[in-house]
Amino acid sequence: MRRTLQATILAGAAALLLAAAGAAEACKINKLPVNPDAPERGAGRLGSGEFFKRFAGAPLELVETNLVPNGDFGIARPGESFANSWLVAAQGAKLGLNHKSAPWAQAVLVCKAPDGTETLLKPDRGCGCGGAADWGWTIPDSAPPGRHTVRVTWEWPKQTAQKLERTYTITIENPRYGKTRDAEIAKLESQHPGKLVVLQDGLPLDGRPYDGAADLALACGGYEGDHTAMIYPRARTLDLGYWIANTKASHYDRGLLKFDLAPLLGKRVKQAILKLTVRQGQKYLAGELAAPLPVYPMLKPWAEGDGVLQVDERGLAKGHPNVYYQAYPVKWEQELASGASDHGPQRATLEPEKGVNPCPGARADVTELVQDWLSGKLPNHGLLIGPDLPAELAGVHPGTDGQVEAFKKLWPHGLVPFFSSDEPSDLDYRPRLLVVLE
Q: Which pLDDT score, from 0 to 100, does residue 250 have?
A: 82
Average pLDDT of the segment spanning 231-240: 65
User: Is residue 283 predicted with pLDDT exceeding 80?
Assistant: no
Category of 17 on φ-ψ map: left (φ > 0), alpha (ψ -120 to 50) or beta: alpha
User: Are the beta carbons of 87 and 97 closer than 8 angstroms?
Assistant: yes
User: Is residue 262 predicted with pLDDT exceeding 90?
Assistant: yes
For residue 179, give the amino acid letter: K
Q: Which pLDDT score, from 0 to 100, does residue 243 have?
A: 85
Q: Which pLDDT score, from 0 to 100, does residue 157 have?
A: 95
State whether residue 370 is helix, strand or coil: helix
In this prediction the pTM is 0.74
User: Are the beta carbons of 87 and 65 closer than 8 angstroms?
Assistant: yes
User: Is residue 18 predicted with pLDDT exceeding 50?
Assistant: no
pLDDT digits (tens, 9 = 90+) for 374-421: 999 999 999 999 999 998 988 777 877 778 889 889 999 989 999 998
In this structure, of 21-35, 240-254, 305-319, 413-427, the range with the lowest mean pLDDT score is: 305-319
- The continuous run of DSSP H or E covering 372 comes out as helix 367-375
Greater pLDDT, 102 or 281: 102
In this structure, of 144-148, 204-208, 275-279, 402-406, the range with the lowest mean pLDDT score is: 402-406
pLDDT digits (tens, 9 = 90+) for 155-167: 999 999 999 999 9
Contacts of 387 (CB under 8 A, 6+ apart): 254, 293, 294, 410, 411
User: Is residue 352 predicted with pLDDT exceeding 50?
Assistant: yes
Greater pLDDT, 49 or 320: 49
Q: Which pLDDT score, from 0 to 100, does residue 361 have?
A: 94
pLDDT band at 248 (very low <50, low <70, confident <90, very high): low
Contacts of 329 (CB under 8 A, 6+ apart): 312
User: Are the beta carbons of 353 and 182 closer than 8 angstroms?
Assistant: no
Distance between CA atoms of residues 5 and 24, nearest Å: 26
User: Is residue 235 predicted with pLDDT exceeding 80?
Assistant: no
Q: Which pLDDT score, from 0 to 100, does residue 229 have?
A: 45
What does the buried/exposed string (b/e) look like for 294-320 if buried means 16 or more CB atoms within 10 Å of the residue's CB?
bbbbbbbebbbbeeebebbeebeeeeb
Please name which of 158, 139, 132 lies closest in space to residue 45, comparing C-alpha atoms: 132
User: Is residue 89 predicted with pLDDT exceeding 90?
Assistant: yes
pLDDT band at 118 (very low <50, low <70, confident <90, very high): confident
Greater pLDDT, 402 or 315: 402
Please name which of 105, 27, 123 lies closest in space to residue 61, comparing C-alpha atoms: 105
pLDDT digits (tens, 9 = 90+) for 21-73: 333 333 344 578 999 999 998 899 999 999 999 999 999 999 999 999 999 99
Query: What are the residue boundaries of the structural domains of the chain, listed by start?
Result: 12-172, 183-437
Of 110-119, 183-192, 214-223, where does the model show the most confidence? 183-192
**DSSP string of 108-156, one letter each residue:** EEEEE-TTS-EEEE--SEEE-GGGSEEEEEE--TTPPSEEEEEEEEEE-
Average pLDDT of the segment spanning 292-296: 97
pLDDT band at 434 (very low <50, low <70, confident <90, very high): very high
End-to-end CA distance of the chain: 28
For residue 434, give the amino acid letter: L
CATH topology of domain 12-172: Immunoglobulin-like (2.60.40)
User: Is residue 223 predicted with pLDDT exceeding 80?
Assistant: no
Taking all residues of the chain, what is their mean pLDDT, rounded to a whole number?
83
User: Is residue 146 predicted with pLDDT exceeding 90?
Assistant: yes
